[in-house]
C-alpha cells in the first residue's frame, strides 16, 4: 500500500511515520493541502489521506480516479469537505468516527471556563504586570442551565463534565438517545433556557447555520456560546450583530466557517482579508482557537491507528463501519 498524506504537519508525521512502517505501508508526507497543483503527487498511490482542512472537490476526485487512487482516508470524523456523490463508483471514503470524545469535551469545557472568567485577558494583563481585575468578572456556573446540542459521544462527555460543575443540563438532538439520562427539548426551548450553549453535532444541510438571528433572538441576555464542532453551525454575521447588541456574555470558537487557509497555518505576518474573523477578534468577550479541540497525544495516536486500520480494510477488500457511503 502506498499512501499520500496531504497537509502534513510535524505532529502528523510523528505518529504516522512509525506506525505506517509497522503496517508495512509506504507513506508519502506532503506539507501542502491537496489542490489542482498538488494532486499529481498522488500518482502511483492506492489512497490519499486528508484532514478536516483538505477539501476534495469533484474535479480533484475525478483526477484522483484517473491517477489510479482507490480511496480517500480521512484522518478526522467530519466529512462535509468531501463531495461524496462524486466519489460514487470511483473512490471509497473512510473516516475516523471517534478518536477521543473526552479530549474535545474537555477542551470545550476549558473554553467555557476561560471565556467566562476572562483568563485570556487576565493572562495578557499580568504579563505586563497589570494586576487590575476590572472587566474580568464572570458568572458562577454552579446552578446554571447548560444546553448541549448533539448527544453523540462528545456531547455525552460534555454532559458529564457540565454536571460535574453542578449545572442543570438539557439537550437537543433530532435523534434522541433513549438510553441517555438527559432532558431533551426543542432547539428553541434550549435557546430560551440555557445560560451556556455548547455545540457537538456534525455539519449537514439541516444543521448549517442552525444558530442564526432567528434562534439567537430566543437566547437569554448574557448567554455563553461554545462551538468545537463545525464553524458553519452558526451564522457568523448574525453572531457579530448579537455581540454588538450585548446578547452574549461570551463566545468561544474553536472552529470558524471560513477557516480554510487560515487555521493550522501561521498567518501572523499576513494581511487577513476575512473581515468577519477580524471583527470577531475585536470583542473582549470572544475567544478563538484554531481547531485544536482534538489535539492530545492519545487522540493523535488513535487517529493514526484507525486511519491505518481503514487502509488495511481497503487493502483486504473488507467492509468496515468507518466507510462513508453516499
Cell 442543570 locates to 168
- The Cα 310–Cα 305 span in angstroms is 9
What is d(CA 202, CA 218) in angstroms, rounded to the nearest whole number?
Answer: 22
Helix (H) or strand (E) holding 297: helix 297-316
By DSSP bridging, strand 323-324 and strand 92-94 are: antiparallel
CA distance linking residue 234 with residue 91, whole number of Å? 31
Read off the C-alpha cell for 220: 437569554
Q: Are 200 and 76 in contact (CB under 8 A)?
A: no
Q: Which residues are catalytic?
A: 230, 259, 291
7 Cβ partners below 8 Å, 6+ apart? 30, 31, 32, 33, 34, 50, 51, 53, 54, 264
Give Cα 256 distance to the centre of its chain: 9
Give the residues across from 248 on adjacent strands.
Answer: 223
Are 113 and 138 in contact by the 8 Å Cβ rule? The answer is no
Amino acid at each position: 500500500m502506498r499512501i499520500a498524506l496531504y497537509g502534513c504537519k510535524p505532529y502528523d508525521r510523528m505518529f504516522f511515520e512509525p506506525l505506517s512502517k509497522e503496517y508495512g505501508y509506504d507513506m508519502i508526507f506532503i506539507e501542502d493541502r491537496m489542490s489542482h497543483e498538488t494532486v499529481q503527487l498522488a500518482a502511483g498511490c492506492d489512497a490519499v489521506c486528508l484532514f478536516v482542512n483538505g477539501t476534495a472537490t469533484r474535479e480533484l476526485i475525478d483526477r484522483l480516479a484517473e491517477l489510479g487512487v482507490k480511496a480517500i482516508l480521512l484522518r478526522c470524523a467530519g466529512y462535509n469537505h468531501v463531495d461524496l456523490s462524486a466519489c460514487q463508483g470511483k473512490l471509497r471514503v473512510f473516516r475516523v468516527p471517534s478518536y477521543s470524545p473526552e479530549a474535545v469535551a474537555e477542551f470545550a469545557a476549558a473554553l467555557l471556563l476561560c471565556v467566562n472568567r476572562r483568563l485570556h485577558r487576565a493572562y495578557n494583563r499580568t504579563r505586563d504586570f497589570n494586576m487590575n481585575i476590572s472587566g474580568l468578572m464572570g458568572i458562577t456556573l454552579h446552578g446554571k442551565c447548560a444546553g448541549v446540542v448533539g448527544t453523540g459521544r462528545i456531547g455525552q462527555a460534555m454532559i458529564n463534565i457540565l454536571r460535574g460543575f453542578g449545572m442543570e443540563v438539557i439537550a437537543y438532538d433530532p435523534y434522541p438517545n433513549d438510553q441517555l439520562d438527559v432532558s431533551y427539548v426543542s432547539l428553541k426551548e434550549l435557546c430560551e433556557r440555557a445560560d451556556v450553549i455548547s455545540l457537538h453535532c456534525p455539519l449537514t444541510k439541516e444543521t448549517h447555520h442552525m444558530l442564526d438571528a432567528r434562534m439567537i433572538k430566543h437566547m437569554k441576555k448574557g448567554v455563553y456560546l461554545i462551538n468545537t464542532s463545525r464553524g458553519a453551525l452558526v451564522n457568523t454575521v448574525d453572531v457579530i450583530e448579537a455581540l454588538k447588541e450585548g446578547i452574549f456574555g461570551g463566545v468561544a470558537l474553536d472552529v470558524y466557517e471560513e477557516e480554510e487557509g487560515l487555521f493550522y497555518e501561521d498567518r501572523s505576518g499576513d494581511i487577513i482579508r476575512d473581515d468577519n474573523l477580524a471583527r470577531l477578534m475585536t470583542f473582549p468577550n470572544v475567544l478563538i482557537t484554531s481547531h485544536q479541540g482534538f489535539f492530545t497525544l492519545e487522540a493523535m495516536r488513535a487517529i493514526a491507528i484507525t486511519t491505518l486500520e481503514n487502509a488495511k480494510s481497503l487493502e483486504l477488500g473488507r467492509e468496515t463501519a468507518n466507510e462513508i457511503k453516499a
